[in-house]
Structure formats: C-alpha cells, structure tokens
C-alpha cells in the first residue's frame, strides 16, 4: 500500500494493521527468514527464499516416500492417521482451483481435517472485521492457516501477528502463503522445483522424455549433467506480474551455474521487474532479457538453447486502462508456444506452466499436450505430493514417514 493512498481518505484499520508491520516487511528477506522458523525448522511458509537446496532435497525425498506409500492401502492408512488430530483452515479469498484443491488433497493424504473460507462476503469481514482479527479467530479453531490473497504481504503480516501472539503467551499457529498479490507463491515454486528435480534425474519415463537415453544424450550434449545446476531456464510471457516466476527464479538462484532467460515484451508491466533483476544478479545468476524465442544469445536462437521452459499466461485480470492501450501496440503472439517451436526445443526439455492456461490467448495450445516434454499436468500432481511433504515437515512428522517407509516398504 502506498502512503499516498492514505492522504486522500482516512485509513481503514486493515490498512493501519499492514502499516504497523511495514518496517518489518521492508527488511531484506534474509533477515526475516529466521523469524519464519521454529527451532530452525520451517514454521510459517511465506517466501521461496526460505528453502535452501538441502531443504528442497529433503522435501522432495519426503514427497517421493509419500507418493510411494500412497500406492498401498497399508501405506495410505499409515499416512491418514499421522495428522488426523490436526485441523487446517483454507482461507482463499482470491480465485484458485489448483492450489486450493491440491492443498486440500495434501491435507487429506495426511488425515488433516480442512475447512474453508473462499468468499469474504460470507465472513464477518462484511460486518467490519479486520483481516487480522479474522486470522486470529481462525487460529483459535485451527492448527494451521493456508491463505491466498490479492494483497501482497498479507500472509507475511499474518505470520508476524502469529509470532507476536506467541510472544505474549497466546495461541499461535503456522501460516502458509498460497499466493499473495503479485508478490510470492512459495509453494508453487516448490512443486516447480520438484518437477524439475524429477525431470533432471532422467530416470522415470513419466517425468523425463529421455529417461533411458541419458548416456546417448550425453554424446549429443557433453555438458549435460543430472540435477538443476548448470542449466539454462527460459521463462516466457507475463514475467512482471507472475508471482510464480518471481518465486521460482529466486529458488533457481540457489543452484550453481544457472542461466535464466526471460522472454517477454519490452513493456514496464510485463517485463522483468527491477527488484527481481537486482536480487538475481546480486546472487551471481546470469540473466538475459529477450523479446522473442528467435532472439539470439551468442549466436544461438533462445528456443534452441534452453534446458527447461516455463510458460505463463498474460494475467489480463490485472490490466489497467494504460496497460490495455500499451498491450494493443505489442505483438503478443510471440509469447505463444507452437508445435514448430516445440520441435526446435532439445529433446529432453521439460515444458512447465503453473496453470491455468488461457484458452483464448493460447500460450500453450492443446496439441502440445501429447508431446512427452509437456510436464504441466504432472507438475500439478507433483504439487499435491510436495505440499503433503511440506505439511509433514511443518508438523514435524517427516521422520516418522521415513521410518515407516524404510521399515515397511519391503513388506507391503
């Protein structure tokens, strides 16, 4: 919220509440991360910057075990008893299908009971209740709050509220950010990373179009290695407003030798924002900003140099009248994938998209879905497993899952 907006009218209590946390919000992420932990373990999940490479590997390993256990009744029974004494509130006041359902399914896998508020007009916010009062009220009934809001920083403010409550000896529960404004979407970046991790193991045929051909592939691309490091990642479309792009690009900067190529119009709304550019370059990531897949980097067209491609939709619901006018001048067709472009991608390149895709714009036309490189539906399913792993970690039962997996998987 800009302070200018407060000059024109008296601020609401909601705005004052957020202002109250402003000085904490304005600190660099690395200073805030310790406050989101409990005894050095994840507690509130607010920024993708909270996940180190080790944490990402631990979560992926828990997710792999959960998905393997879920194939068997004995494994399912074990999992659904693990957290059957816990209750979660899904507070999703911004539209969502995937993230909402995937969190709900993740809760169900672990036996967590869920309740939801999706429409604030059905809550006491219409009677003048502030958002922070609503959150504190939810924390009286539930053991976890998973929230999505169009307000950037609301989830972060709620995490501070919970920390303050804990400090004053009151009940306090973990907050998970399931998307906050144009700001961050840390759990989407978890599933994106998990999908990339599985693709770049080149082992499971469903996860990687070249699972059995790694050695052959190495003959064609001698520098190809397993894992996320030393790869070129392309992000195409609405880079400026894509919170999933912000969160994933931040996480990829944890890996060595990574190059990020942003393929977006040269428009202040759609292009890479300054703060993210600064954050990435300060971490030593090599970045390139181009306007088309055909632009060349060191002589090679971008489409031919990528190791992974992350497509996004143009988020037109956020357009203001100036955007509408500016966008009509742009050739947005360049930000659509076509079968011809896919044919020029390397044979192993996973194509990701956070979804929903826009059928009217057509950034990924359905004829690409059958290409073995199209990972977006698997990516969504991976989201359910990695979110279950995250919930297990927040409630500290990941070691129980490992023990059961190691002891029982040989017998079931």
Judged by CB under 6 A, does residue 153 bind ligand NCD? Answer: no
Closest to 307 in 3D by CA, of 227, 366, 383, 246: 227
Pairwise CA distance, residues 315 & 146, whole Å: 23
Judged by CB under 6 A, does residue 186 bind ligand NCD? Answer: no
Is 108 or 315 the residue whose CB approaches ligand NCD more closely?
A: 315
The answer, yes or no, to whether the previous bond of 5 is cis (omega within 30 of 0) is: no
With CB under 6 A as the contact rule, the residue among 38, 98, 316, 318 that binds ligand NCD is 98
Question: Cβ of residue 135: shortest distance to ligand NCD, in angstroms?
Answer: 20
For 181-297, where are the E strands, in sequence order?
232-236, 259-263, 286-290, 296-297
Between the CA atoms of 165, 167, 168 and 174, what dihedral angle is there, to the nearest 10 degrees? 20
The CA–CA distances, whole Å, from 13 to 152, 177, 381 equal 17, 22, 40
Is 86 or 185 the residue whose CB approaches ligand NCD more closely?
A: 185
Give the H or E element holding residue 317: none
Pairwise CA distance, residues 382 & 377, whole Å: 9
Is 244 or 259 the residue whose CB approaches ligand NCD more closely?
A: 244
Question: Cβ of residue 188: shortest distance to ligand NCD, in angstroms?
Answer: 5
DSSP code at position 93: -
Pairwise CA distance, residues 408 & 412, whole Å: 6
**Residue, CB closest to ligand NCD:** 354
Question: Cβ of residue 115: shortest distance to ligand NCD, in angstroms?
Answer: 21
Number of residues forming the site for ligand NCD (CB under 6 A): 11
Between the CA atoms of 52, 53, 56 and 62, what dihedral angle is there, to the nearest 10 degrees? -120
The CA–CA distances, whole Å, from 218 to 222, 304, 347, 366 equal 5, 16, 12, 31
Is 187 or 393 the residue whose CB approaches ligand NCD more closely?
A: 187
Site string for ligand NCD, 231-270 (x = CB under 6 A): ------------xx--------------------------
With CB under 6 A as the contact rule, the residue among 67, 246, 313, 336 that binds ligand NCD is 313
Question: Cβ of residue 61: shortest distance to ligand NCD, in angstroms?
Answer: 24
Judged by CB under 6 A, does residue 179 bind ligand NCD? Answer: yes
Question: Cβ of residue 98: shortest distance to ligand NCD, in angstroms?
Answer: 5
Question: Cβ of residue 32: shortest distance to ligand NCD, in angstroms?
Answer: 21
Ranges within 117-146 binding ligand NCD (CB under 6 A): none
With CB under 6 A as the contact rule, the residue among 355, 385, 404, 405 that binds ligand NCD is 355
Question: Cβ of residue 163: shortest distance to ligand NCD, in angstroms?
Answer: 26
> Parallel, antiparallel, or unpaired for β 286-290 and 144-149?
unpaired
Number of H helices, E strands in the chain: 17, 13
Judged by CB under 6 A, does residue 44 bind ligand NCD? Answer: no
Question: Cβ of residue 381: shortest distance to ligand NCD, in angstroms?
Answer: 13
| Phi, psi for residue 325 in degrees, rounded to 5 | -65, -45
Is 67 or 313 the residue whose CB approaches ligand NCD more closely?
A: 313
Pairwise CA distance, residues 194 & 199, whole Å: 9
Pairwise CA distance, residues 351 & 127, whole Å: 46
Judged by CB under 6 A, does residue 315 bind ligand NCD? Answer: yes
Ranges within 66-85 binding ligand NCD (CB under 6 A): none
Is 210 or 249 the residue whose CB approaches ligand NCD more closely?
A: 249
The CA–CA distances, whole Å, from 320 to 253, 317, 323, 333 equal 32, 9, 5, 20
Pairwise CA distance, residues 211 & 64, whole Å: 17
Question: Cβ of residue 316: shortest distance to ligand NCD, in angstroms?
Answer: 10
Judged by CB under 6 A, does residue 188 bind ligand NCD? Answer: yes
Pairwise CA distance, residues 59 & 16, whole Å: 37
Judged by CB under 6 A, does residue 354 bind ligand NCD? Answer: yes
Judged by CB under 6 A, does residue 189 bind ligand NCD? Answer: no
Residues contacting 282, CB < 8 A, separation 6+: none
Closest to 103 in 3D by CA, of 152, 151, 37, 175: 175
With CB under 6 A as the contact rule, the residue among 99, 149, 189, 254 that binds ligand NCD is 99
Judged by CB under 6 A, does residue 382 bind ligand NCD? Answer: no
Is 54 or 320 the residue whose CB approaches ligand NCD more closely?
A: 320
Question: Cβ of residue 373: shortest distance to ligand NCD, in angstroms?
Answer: 20
Binding site for ligand NCD (CB under 6 A): 98-99, 179, 185, 188, 243-244, 313, 315, 354-355
């Amino acid at each position: 919220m800009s302070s200018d907006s407060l000059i024109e009218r008296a601020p609401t209590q909601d705005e004052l509440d957020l202002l109250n946390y402003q000085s904490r919000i304005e600190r660099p992420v690395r200073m805030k991360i310790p406050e989101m932990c409990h005894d050095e373990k994840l507690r509130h999940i607010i920024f993708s910057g909270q996940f180190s490479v080790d944490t990402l590997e631990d979560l992926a390993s828990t997710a792999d075990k959960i998905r393997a256990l879920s194939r068997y009744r004995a494994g399912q029974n074990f999992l659904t008893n693990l957290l059957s004494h816990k209750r979660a509130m899904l507070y999703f006041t911004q539209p969502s299908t995937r993230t909402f359902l995937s969190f709900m399914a993740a809760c169900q896998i672990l036996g967590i009971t869920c309740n939801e508020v999706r429409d604030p007009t059905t809550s006491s916010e219409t009677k003048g209740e502030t958002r922070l009062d609503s959150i504190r009220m939810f924390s009286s009934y539930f053991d976890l709050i998973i929230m999505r809001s169009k307000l950037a920083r609301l989830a972060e403010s709620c995490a501070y509220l919970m920390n303050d409550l804990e400090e004053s000896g009151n009940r306090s529960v973990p907050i998970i950010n399931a998307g906050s404004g144009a700001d961050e979407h840390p759990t989407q970046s978890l599933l994106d990373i998990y999908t990339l991790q599985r693709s770049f193991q080149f082992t499971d045929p469903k996860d990687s179009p070249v699972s059995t051909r790694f050695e052959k592939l190495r003959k064609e691309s001698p520098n190809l290695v397993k894992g996320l490091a030393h790869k070129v990642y392309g992000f195409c479309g609405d880079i400026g407003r894509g919170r999933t792009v912000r969160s994933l690009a931040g996480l990829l900067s944890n890996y060595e030798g990574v190059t990020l190529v942003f393929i977006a119009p040269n428009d202040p709304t759609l292009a890479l924002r300054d703060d993210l550019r600064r954050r990435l370059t300060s971490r030593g990531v090599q970045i390139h900003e181009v306007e088309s897949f055909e632009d060349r980097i060191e002589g090679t067209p971008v489409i031919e140099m990528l190791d992974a491609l992350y497509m996004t939709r143009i988020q037109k619901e956020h357009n203001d009248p100036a955007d509408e006018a500016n966008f009509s001048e742009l050739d947005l067709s360049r930000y659509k994938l076509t079968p011809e472009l896919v044919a020029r991608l390397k044979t192993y390149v996973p194509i990701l998209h956070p979804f929903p895709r826009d059928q009217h714009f057509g950034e990924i036309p359905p004829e690409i879905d059958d290409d073995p490189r199209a990972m977006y539906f698997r990516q969504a399913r991976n989201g359910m497993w990695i979110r279950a792993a995250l919930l297990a970690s927040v409630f500290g039962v990941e070691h129980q899952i490992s023990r059961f997996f190691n002891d029982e998987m040989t017998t079931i």
